[in-house]
Amino acid sequence: MSLVKLRLGMLGSIALIIGLGSLVLMAILTYLFGGFGMDIMITALIIVVMFNLLQWLFAPHIIDAMYRVRPADIYREGWLIDTVKRIAKVSGLKKVPKVMVAEINVPNAFAYGSPLTGPRVAVTRRAIEVLNRDELEAVIAHEIGHIKHKDMAVMMLISIIPAIMYWLGIMLMRYGMFSAAFRSRDRGAEGGLVLVLGGLALAALSFIFNLFVLWFSRMREYYADTHAAFSVNNGALKLQRALAKILIDTGFLKRRGVRIEKYETLKALFIADPGHRVIARGYINIDRVIAEIKSMKVSIWNELFSTHPHPAKRFRFLDKLIGI
C-alpha cells in the first residue's frame, strides 16, 4: 500500500460515508414521508450530532477515570515529556500535547483529547516497563501522528452518519409496529409495515456503513505509522519492534490470567488492539517473531470487524517504510 493509495483510500472513505450516507438517508426519508423527510432528518441530525459532540468533549475525563490516567511526573517521566516535546516540534504542532501515564497493566499507548482538555498523549505503565526508549519514541510519534491528522475529530464526524441511520431505523420500527397494531388513521396497518421495513433497511445500512468506518479506522492507523516512520530516525523499524513486544507481552499477560478483555472497551484508541497477541514461549528472538508475524496469511474476515489492521499486514506495510 503506497502513501498516495493510503491517502486516496481515506478520502474515498470519508466521501463515501458522508456523501452517499446523506443521499441514502434523504432518499429513504423522502420516500417514506414525502416533504416531511427533510424535517425529520434535520431533527435526527441535531439530536445525534449533539450527543456525539458532548461525548467527544467529555470523553477525555471518562478515559482518565477508566484507565487511571495521570499527568506524567517531570522527575520520574521527564524523558517522556522531552520526547513528546521534540516530536511535536518536528511534526509542526502548534500546541505540545499534554503527556499522561495510564496506570494499567497492559502495554499500550493512545492519543486523545478535545477542545476542553487539549491534545493528550498517554503511555501505559506496562509499556514504559516493557519497551526501551527508542521503541517508545516511535510509539509516541505514531500517537502524535493521530493528533496531527486530527483523527479524533474526523472519526467523530464520520461516525455520525451510521449513528443517525441506526437511531432513525429503531424509531421507524417502533413507530411502524405501533401504527400497525393500532391501525392508525393516517396509514393503517399497511403503512405501519412500510415504516417497519424502512426502519429495518436503515438499521441494515447503518451496519454496512459502520464497516466503512472500521475500514477508515484501519487506514488511519497506517497513516499514523507513516508519521512515525518519517518523524523519527529509523522509526519504521523501531515501531515494528515496539508493536511486536506489545503483542508478545499482551499474550504473556493473557497466559498469566490478566483480564485483557476489560481494556477492549475503547480499543480504537490504542496503538495496538488488545485482542491481537502473540503466544511466545521460552527465549524470545524479537526479529524471529516479527518475521513469523509477517509470514501470516490474512483473509478479509481476519480484520473486517477490527479497528486496527492485522499485525501481519501492518508489519509488511512498515517494511516498505524502513530506510525512508
- Report the share of the chain in percent with pLDDT over 90: 49
Radius of gyration in angstroms for the set of CA atoms belonging to the chain, rounded to a whole number = 22
Say which range, 79-83, 181-185, 290-294, has the weakest mean pLDDT.
Answer: 181-185
All residues at 6 or more sequence positions from 292 whose CB lies less than 8 Å from its CB, including other chains: none
User: Residue 218 has what pLDDT?
Assistant: 94
Amino acid 294 reads K
Give the residue numbers spanning the domain of 269.
Answer: 3-321
Query: What's the pTM?
Result: 0.89
How many CB atoms sit inside 10 A of residue 124's CB? 25
Mean pLDDT score, 241-253: 92
How far is residue 100's CA from residue 245's CA, in Å, rounded to a whole number?
A: 21
Which grid cell sits at 177?
A: 409496529
DSSP-based helix, strand, coil % in the chain, nearest 5: 70, 5, 25
HSE on the CB side for 165, CA within 13 Å?
27
Question: Is residue 184 a contact partner of residue 192, using CB atoms and an 8 Å limit?
Answer: yes
User: Residue 126 has what pLDDT?
Assistant: 95
Which grid cell sits at 116?
A: 476542553
Whether 264 is a known active-site residue: answer no
User: Residue 183 has what pLDDT?
Assistant: 54
User: Residue 318 has what pLDDT?
Assistant: 95
pLDDT tens column, 280-307: 665 578 888 899 999 999 888 888 899 9
- Report the share of the chain in percent with pLDDT over 70: 89
Question: Is residue 277 a contact partner of residue 235, using CB atoms and an 8 Å limit?
Answer: no
Which grid cell sits at 220?
A: 488511519
Select which of 77, 135, 143, 303 is catalytic.
143
Q: Say which residue the cell 451496519 belongs to.
A: 207
How far is residue 178's CA from residue 181's CA, in Å, rounded to a whole number?
A: 5
C-alpha separations of 119 from 91, 153, 180, 217 in Å: 14, 11, 50, 19
DSSP strands (E only) in the chain: 69-71, 98-102, 109-114, 118-124
pLDDT classification of 14: cutoffs 50, 70, 90: confident
Mean pLDDT score, 105-120: 94
Structural domain tally of the chain? 1
User: Residue 80 has what pLDDT?
Assistant: 96
How far is residue 250's CA from residue 264's CA, in Å, rounded to a whole number?
A: 12
